[in-house]
Amino acid sequence: MQLAVFASGSGSNLEAIFNAIDAGRLPATVALVLSNKAGVFALERARLRDVPTIVLDPTGRDEAAYLADLLGVLNTHGVDFIALAGYLKKIPAGLVAAFHGRMLNIHPALLPAFGGPGMFGQRIHRAAIEYGVRWTGATVHLVDEAYDTGPVVLQEPVPVKPDDTPEVLAARVLALEHRLFPEALALFAAGRVRLEGRRVFIDEAPRPPAHAV
């Protein structure tokens, strides 16, 4: 799996992907880290590992030209799978089509709750606390043309505790994200994911060959 990771912020999920690769839990190479913003820490994390980085900002650009740049750079780096790890810009429909079934996003809530336009960062956790839900969590999903609506690949809950602030809850969810995102990517790398309509089925891991007695 030749992975491009798109990130707009701190890149702790990117770090979790690097760590999973180093630990042998994810058979992949991060071929490229892309951001819409220069100076974000995600880019620094990539540079520290000599991973190529690029900044492409769609703001005020013609979408066709932006899409052509994206496809060009992904092609140059031999990318065959995309992970959106805290990437805050809308993905052009042309890229969604080109990477159909090969682009994952991580969202820090149990979708379809607390997702969609405007639901990012601490707002998600504040909304969950104010709504009064007892559980929130993280969702890894395939990317479609809208925000946070693609087929769910993995999803796990964490409790919302009575004294939680958005910051405390965010940290609890983030710890889960760091395990869930590499796990989901590894399922794709192993070819274990099947899509039927919008339902995702995960095939059992192949068993190791039985030893002759």
Residues that bind ligand GRF (CB under 6 A): 7, 9-13, 42, 85-86, 106-108, 174, 177
For residue 90, the minimal CB distance to ligand GRF (Å) is 13
Q: Which is nearer to ligand GRF, 78 or 121 (CB)?
A: 121
Q: Which is nearer to ligand GRF, 19 or 64 (CB)?
A: 19
User: Which has the closest alpha carbon to 95: 79, 111, 107?
Assistant: 79
For residue 187, the minimal CB distance to ligand GRF (Å) is 18
User: Which has the closest alpha carbon to 104: 85, 123, 119?
Assistant: 85
Q: Which is nearer to ligand GRF, 145 or 203 (CB)?
A: 145
Q: Determine which one of 107, 125, 141, 178 is catalytic.
A: 107
For residue 130, the minimal CB distance to ligand GRF (Å) is 18
DSSP notation for 177-200: HHHHHHHHHHHHHTT-EEEETTEE
Expressed in angstroms, the distance from the first to the final Cα of the chain is: 36
Q: Please, are residues 145 and 93 in contact by the beta-carbon 8 Å criterion?
A: yes
User: Closest residue to ligand GRF, Cβ-based?
Assistant: 86
- Please confirm, yes or no, whether 107 is among the known catalytic residues: yes
Q: Please, are residues 78 and 2 in contact by the beta-carbon 8 Å criterion?
A: yes
Q: Which is nearer to ligand GRF, 68 or 181 (CB)?
A: 181
Instruction: Extract the tokens encoding 19.
Output: 């760590």
Rounded distance between C-alpha atoms, residue 202 and residue 180, angstroms: 14
Secondary structure class of 126 (helix, strand, coil): helix
For residue 99, the minimal CB distance to ligand GRF (Å) is 18
The catalytic site residues sit at 107
